[in-house]
A = this chain, B = another copy of it.
């Protein structure tokens, strides 16, 4: 998205500037994660949503985009501690370098900084949307925690978790982004729905990629969710479509916790053999199509086509 390049550079500058602190652990730890990159998907979504409804860039939307990325980064830092994961963005998790305590507290700092940034936009709509979304994200994380090790997790509960822990921030970013450019509630609602559907597609595909996608994607780390006994859509579908023996397998590796060396390979095998991988992708495709449909309801502005492509890409990376 060439049009967004100068704005994205501004966002990068803000991310570096606002993670600064005389307490050096804070910039050290933040930049470890922030400089590691990630896709900046949420800032792109924020900036592009504003452009799509006629926005012209500017200070407020860049601050909002940086605030959204800070919320996301804070969540990652806390997730690493909660999940006890050892890797993040291909590197040792921050908690393995600086300790869990520093990860918790720097997460708190970034979360606070995100609210300072949003306050600087002087737009109460933005604060309203993002503070509510932050509540929902935390609710989703607690909900996910309660779902760990429950192989019979119901599909609606899985979707509710995805909705809260991932889609809520995508929706808020797109909706608030739109409001930086327009007062038209319908346009903002359409962009919010686009973000929500994109977030759902994105998370569902992420959950599939954790089992190697449709065909194992080379170089990707797999099995994090499996080891943490998070029940995700590929597992729900595979267990549903499987034999009694399959069900016993899932109940043992997910429920008990009794995992052996060959279990992850068998889980991946089952997810493909039962058609669960294809079905998961199909569910993501439905969300991606819904995202495109919502986008079509918003007025056509710059970045419109790119947002459509983003909806496609969220699914296509599963191959």
Does A208 belong to the interface (CB within 8 Å)? no
Q: Which residue of B lies closest to A114 (CB)?
A: B131
State which of B25, B104, B124, B146 has its C-beta within 8 Å of the C-beta of A78. B104
Can you report 30 residue pairs joining A to B where beta carbons are below 8 Å apart?
A: A21-B139, A23-B139, A23-B143, A25-B145, A25-B146, A26-B138, A26-B139, A74-B108, A78-B105, A78-B108, A82-B105, A102-B145, A105-B138, A105-B145, A106-B142, A108-B141, A109-B135, A109-B142, A111-B111, A111-B134, A112-B131, A112-B134, A115-B131, A115-B134, A116-B131, A118-B131, A119-B127, A122-B124, A124-B124, A127-B127
Contacts of A135 in B (CB 8 A): 109, 112-113, 116
Known contacts A21-B139, A25-B146, A82-B101, A119 near B112 by CB under 8 Å: no
Contacts of A118 in B (CB 8 A): 131
CB 8 Å contact bits of A57-88 with B (1 = contact, 0 = none): 00000000000000000100010011000000
> How many Å lie between the Cα of A302 and that of B128 in the bound state?
33
A7 CB to nearest B CB, Å: 23
- Is A132 an interface residue when CB atoms closer than 8 A count as contact? yes
Tallying the copies of this chain within the complex gives: 2
Answer whether A112 and B124 are a contact pair too, CB < 8 Å, given A81-B101, A101-B82.
no
Instruction: Choose one: B119, B124, B132; the contact of A131 (CB below 8 Å).
Output: B119
Say how far A159's CB is from chain B's closest CB, in angstroms. Answer: 15
Contact string, A296-316, partner B, CB cutoff 8 A, digits 1/0?
000000000000000000000
Complex Cα–Cα for A29 and B283 (A):
35
**Residue among A26, A74, A139 with max Cβ neighbours from chain B (10 Å):** A139
Given contacts A25-B146, A105-B82, whether A138 and B119 have CB atoms under 8 Å apart is no
Q: Which residues of A come within 8 Å of B, CB atoms?
A: 21-23, 25-26, 74, 78, 81-82, 100-102, 104-106, 108-109, 111-113, 115-116, 118-119, 122, 124, 127-128, 131-132, 134-135, 137-139, 141-143, 145-146
Measured between alpha carbons, how far is A100 from B84 in the docked complex, in Å? 11
Q: Is the CB of B139 within 8 A of A128?
A: no
Whether A138 pairs with B115 at a CB distance below 8 angstroms is: no
Give the Cβ gap from A49 to chain B, nearest Cβ, in Å. Answer: 21
Nearest Cβ in chain B — how far from A54, in angstroms? 25
Contact (Cβ within 8 A) B119 A124: yes
The answer to whether B116 touches A132 (Cβ under 8 A) is: yes
